[in-house]
Structure 1
Amino acid sequence: MAPSVRQVLWSLVTVFVVGTVVTKIRMFFRHPAAPGPKLALVTRLWYALQVWGAISRTGTSKPIADMIVRVAPSLYSIDDPEAIKVIYGVKSPMAKSSWYSAFGVPGIPNQNLFCTRDQSKHTIMRRKVAHLYSMTSIKAYKSHVDDCIQLILDKFDRFAETGHTFSLDHWLQCYAFDVIGKITFGKTIGFLESGGKDISGIMKSLDSLTSFCSVVGVNIALLPLCLLVFGDPSKGPMAFTKEITGKREDDNLGDGSSISTDASYGDVKTFVQKLEKLRAEMSPQEFEDCRIEYNALTNVVAGSDTTGLTLTAVLLNICTHPTVHEKFRQEIKIYHERRNNEIVVQDKRVEARPTITFDQAQSMPYFQLVLKETMRLHPATGLPLWRDLPQGGAMIAGTFFPGGTSIGINSWVIHRNTSVFGNDASLFRPERWDPSLISNEDLARMDGCYIPFGAGARTCIGKNVSLLEINKLIPELVARYEFDLISPPDLVWQGQKPEPKKTNNFFVKRKDIMVKIRRAQVA
């Protein structure tokens, strides 16, 4: 007699349950013992639930005592300085884990550098566009950045006049968004000019996209089901990018050559125009048409949130540490005096003043210490950068891990490693990087553990864009305004200094930082 449908179903369920149990038991005995939540022994659910929420829930708000922490089956967070080169070094055989696949557009493999897991394909893709992100290439966009600086200064001047309370983190993200828009598409997206409106809801869409990908990537097998249930969160940002790219292409000449949206920029081409030139020089197999949109979207996703949140962190650290604030102010003052830059003052308003160039900002030694210490304590990303061990496994942090295990280092953890940064590793102290106060050996050791932009061959390709935006804006804001922090309702108090709560969906953000500003007294 043939088995009934019910018998077949029960047999399948039994096989599934038994198979799952056997797999978990094998994993338990094959993988090293390590501290971590009990639930993380048998399921990735615990880690998935931690990924989306307050940063304190993901264990990154303070250093952990153990070098190895299990956050899920076959998923280990490592806090060992010696492991950085082993995991992320240029010659490391460890590929990106399946977590990154969630950040791609469904059905299209290897469409951007971030989600491409195959190292050889990543190398080829990066080689094609690396020169577009070189510091020499990025410096050519200084006028684009200056335009956006003038826009945000105009808004902040108005806030200073009226005493208006505003969200500092939101406006700094607006600035970052408009800069990356101008560099990529040749025009600002319009956040600053619109008074801080979320144009086409793109900020909210990108935040939702990042949260979705970070959570679903924990168990990539669930991606098809999640897309079916929740829809594809990349559609909104992708449509936005196509719309902006299309509008820019409408400005092209009939023969296909491009014109700049502003003649004052001369021969400076937008990022999209440079990508179009690459496409024209390569075969369709080497550079597909869709790569233009995917690279443009990657610029927007990676270049707005990360720069905006870093700007917020830098400014908060300066303004909540009076000694740091005063030393930086004096450095700016000395810089202006040395270069004979005149500040014209009339009715307590600055009518004209040269903006500080990127090279000049980088020549301010104390400012660079402040910036580096901020990115140590508040790197943009707050989750481990997962890598898969190859067949045969590897020794990491003195422990053997079998092949197929995923391991990663969280910059929020390694940057607070007391064996490297000292017992005060959790404190903001720019002087720790001062080469005149520490030995070359200690400085090299700290630099070796400093990974705010990642490490090895997968270092963030757009870091020069972010550094340009930050170095040009921060000195202007600190020289021009006094910032009064208005306590939002969700502050965590540390002594007398308010510390806003952070959210972590891969990007670690301080949100709703409400401030009032006043024009600084010009000496």
Structure 2
Amino acid sequence: MDLTFLLSVVLFILLSPLLYRIYTVLASPLHHIPGPFLARFTKLPYFLSIYRGQAHQDNIALHRRYAPPGQHFAPIVRLGPNLYSITSPDKAVYGVASKFPKSSWYEGWRHPNPQRWSLFPNRDIARHAETRRVFSSIYSMSSLVGYEGYVDTCNGIFEQRLRERARGGEWIDMTRWLQCYAFDVIGEITYSKRFGFLDGGEDVAGLIKALDANMRYSTLVGVYSWIHPYLYRMLEKMPNSGAGGRTYINQTIQRRLEERKAERKKRTVEGGGKAKLSVEEEGAPKDFLDRMFEMLEDGKKGVIPYHLFMLCMSNVVAGSDTTAVSLSSVLYHLIRTPRALEKLREELNAAEKEGEINGTEIGFNASMKMRYLQACLKEGLRLLPATGLPLWRVVPQGGATVCGQFFPAGEVGINTWVAHYDKDIWGEDVESYRPERWIEAEDQGGEKIKTMEAYYMPFGLGSRTCIGRHISWLEMSKVVPKLVRTFDFELERPDKEMTTQNYWFVKPVDFSVKVKLRAESIV
């Protein structure tokens, strides 16, 4: 046999996978969708973007780079062979009746043991809806009044810690302190017991470190989710790995649950069959666990023992980072926008004169009526939304039309950062902190405010909206007024934009401030 022919056959066999991939790319009905060249063949560029912690900025840059003439963003860009980033929160994808399940990326957030399932990474649409119904009442807006006292407790401790730092005159990591605050609020609401982060502004038992490791691991491994079950088993015994961090969090939560079980068992014996409250607890609001235990013991709503663990896990994993990021953004932008800060203080002073503020605390119902405060919060979450990756959904079998394009298969997703930085929606001042845009749009009414609300998605979209969003809003609505009325803040680097690192949650890394007591607050 001719050697040249033999070599040609061998070469053809070796190159066949590549040739086939090139053919499928060229023959694809989606070959015209723009994106980085390598993204047509591999998810590696997307993985590296996440690895660098800047996927949110890279995502925006791609939509701007490939924008057609006369538009600020390309409506669809390619991030991988079957990954398509979109700019519109299409109702077919994210509506309440959506048939688009979550993608395999969420597998990275799931425990390999199928018995240890949780709400966030649940890809089964029906099971998610059923599970969410179990939790909905204790996360509802109407339940917030019962949790307000827990927030007030932490607000008072937080104020005291900042007063101490003001007297010391040192620079402090404000994001870290805000996370300590959010962690302790979650502890109070869930267990009626703070974790203790506000005692010294330190990482109690390494919980924040464990969470950060878990976030990084889950975010990265989700891109190649098939490796997750194997990698997790290798790493779960290593304390500094993401898998090890998750194990530590699980153990911490389980320990708290066992403590409450023992406590309720003792009370039940003392109460003759029903959990007995102490004198101090009579009439006190019930925390999350008390409500869940009552639902479990009454046999209501199909509550099972595992739901209690899931509830605590969801609160701890999602309840501190998101609120800390959101509070960091609101406070940072108020500091950098003196006009907005002064206007907010004027509104708060007027509310105090009208009796809406009792001492240094503002009631949640009163805060919700304060238009400028609410606009400041919304604008802060628009400019720095807590999540920074596309909300990936799988195109259902048979294909579907999304953003005017038919997709025979693949995954589509909108990144909150892309939605919040689209000039076609928010105007030329999209990068400016301007709370007035919300009040102007509300007063104008019509399509403007409807469009803004449709593209505003700091807590997700549709049936997968963050179940704890009302808790986060309760915290922000109460602590921001306290902070801006009591303290002035000086940025260590006022001329430098805040930098962030994105491993699903987009966390500020250089929000360093000096806290000063306002003259009228010195007591």
TM-score, normalised relative to structure 2:
0.87
8 Å CA contact 1:51–1:58 kept in 2: the answer is: no
Give 1:18-29 correspondences, 5 Å limit: 18=16, 22=20, 25-26=23-24, 29=27
Partner residue in 1 for 2:339: 323
SS at match of 1:120: helix
Match of 1:443 among 441, 446, 449: 449
Structure 1 position 52, deviation (Å): 3.1
Partner of 1:280: 297
* Alignment match of 2:426 (pick from 410, 417, 421): 421
Cα 1:340/1:512, change in 2 over 3 Å: closer
**1:77 — aligned with what?**
85
Which residue of 1 is the match for residue 263 of structure 2?
251
What pairs up with 1:293-312 in 2 under 5 angstroms? 293-312=309-328
User: Whole-Å Cα distance in 1 between the matches of residues 114 and 303 of structure 2?
Assistant: 14
Query: Any conservation in 2 of the 1:376–1:452 contact (CA below 8 Å)?
Result: yes
Q: Which amino acid aligns with 1:312?
A: S
Out of 101-110 and 52-61, give the one that drifted further: 52-61
425, 434, 439: which one pairs with 1:434? 439
Note closer, same or farther for the CA distance 1:430–1:412 as it changes in structure 2 (3 Å cut): same
* C-alpha deviation, 1:288, in angstroms: 3.6
Maintained 8 Å contact 2:356/2:362: no
1:138 aligns with 2:144: yes
Letter in 1 for 2:257: T
Equivalences for 1:10-409 in 2 at 5 Å?
18=16, 22=20, 25-26=23-24, 29-32=27-30, 33-55=32-54, 58-60=57-59, 64=64, 65-80=73-88, 83-108=89-114, 111-193=117-199, 195-231=200-236, 232-233=243-244, 234-254=246-266, 255=268, 257-258=274-275, 263=280, 266-282=283-299, 286-339=302-355, 353-403=359-409, 405-409=410-414
Separation of aligned partners in 2, 1:17 and 1:101: 32
CA RMSD of aligned residues (A): 2.5
SS in 2 for 1:483: strand
CA 1:49/1:411 → structure 2, altered by over 3 Å: closer, same or farther?
same
CA distance in 1, matches of 2:449, 2:196: 42
C-alpha deviation, 1:177, in angstroms: 0.3
Shift of 1:428: 1.5
Alpha-carbon separation, structure 1, partners of 2:59 and 2:444: 27
Deviation at 1:302, TM superposition (A): 0.7
Gaps of 5+ in 2: 1-9, 65-72, 237-242
- Secondary structure of the 1:252 match is helix
Select between 513-522 and 107-116 the one with higher mean Cα deviation.
107-116
* Per-residue deviation, residues 346-367 of structure 1 (Å, max 9, x unmatched): xxxxxxx241111111111111
Larger relative helix fraction: 2
Q: Is the 1:103–1:115 Cα contact (8 Å) retained in structure 2?
A: yes
Aligned to 2:517: 519
- Amino acid corresponding to residue 307 of structure 1 in structure 2: T
Q: What is the SS of the residue equivalent to 1:517?
A: strand
One-letter identity of the residue aligned with 2:504: F
Equivalent residue number for residue 7 of structure 1 = none
* C-alpha spacing 1:293/1:261, structure 2 compared with 1 (3 Å): farther
2:4 aligns with none
Corresponding letter in the other structure for 2:119: L
Runs of 5+ in structure 1 lacking a partner?
A: 1-10, 343-352, 488-495
Whether the 8 Å CA contact 1:309–1:508 is kept in 2: the answer is yes
CA contact (8 A) 1:164 1:516 kept: yes
Q: Secondary structure at the match of 2:264?
A: coil
Residue number in structure 2 paired with 1:491: none
Distance 1:465 1:22, change over 3 A: same
Deviation (angstroms), 1:225: 3.2
Whether the 8 Å contact between 1:48 and 1:216 is mirrored in structure 2 is: no
| 3-state SS, counterpart of residue 520 of structure 2 | coil
Structure 1 residue 373 displacement after superposition = 1.1
In 2, Cα distance between equivalents of 1:66 and 1:365? 34
| Aligned position for 1:509 | 507
% identity of equivalent residues: 34
Q: Residue 510 and residue 89 in structure 1: after superposition, are their counterparts in 2 closer, same or farther (change >3 A)?
A: same
**What is the rounded CA distance, in whole Å, between the counterparts of 2:14 and 2:254 in structure 1?**
44
Q: Distance in 1 between matches of 2:235 and 2:511?
A: 31
CA contact (8 A) 2:356 2:366 kept: no
Preserved CA contact (<8 Å) 1:55 1:61: no
Per the TM alignment, residue 439 of structure 1 is displaced from its structure 2 partner at its CA by: 4.2
The equivalent position to 2:484 in structure 1, one of 455, 478, 481, is: 478
Secondary structure, aligned partner of 2:385: coil
- 2:94·2:461 contact (CA, 8 Å) conserved in 1? yes
Secondary structure class of the residue paired with 2:362: coil
Range moving further from structure 2, 271-280 or 506-515: 271-280
Q: What SS is found at the alignment partner of 1:329?
A: helix
Aligned length: 488
Are the counterparts in 2 of residues 138 and 465 from structure 1 also a CA contact under 8 Å? yes
Structure 1 distance, partners of 2:178, 2:91, is 34
**SS at the partner of 1:503?**
strand
Deviations 1:154-193 (A, max 9, x none): 1011111221221110000000000001111120011012
1:422-446 CA distance string (max 9 Å, x none): 1222221111111466442211111
1:337–1:355: structure 2 CA closer, same or farther, 3 Å change rule?
same
Deviation of the 1:286 alpha carbon: 4.3
* 3-state SS in 2 of match to 1:251: helix
| Worse overlay, 251-260 or 364-373 | 251-260
* TM-aligned CA deviation for residue 212 of structure 1: 0.8
Distance in 1 between residues matched to 2:260 and 2:14, nearest whole Å:
53
- Secondary structure of 1:466's match? helix
Is residue 345–residue 484 contact of structure 2 (8 Å, CA) maintained in 1?
yes
Q: Secondary structure at the match of 1:516?
A: strand
- SS at the partner of 2:114? coil
Q: Distance in 2 between matches of 1:260 and 1:417?
A: 53
1:113 & 1:173 partners in 2: Cα distance? 22
Q: Distance in 1 between matches of 2:33 and 2:278?
A: 57
Q: Give the direction of change, closer, same or farther, for the CA distance of 1:483–1:44 in structure 2 (3 Å limit).
A: same
CA distance in 2, matches of 1:272, 1:28: 56
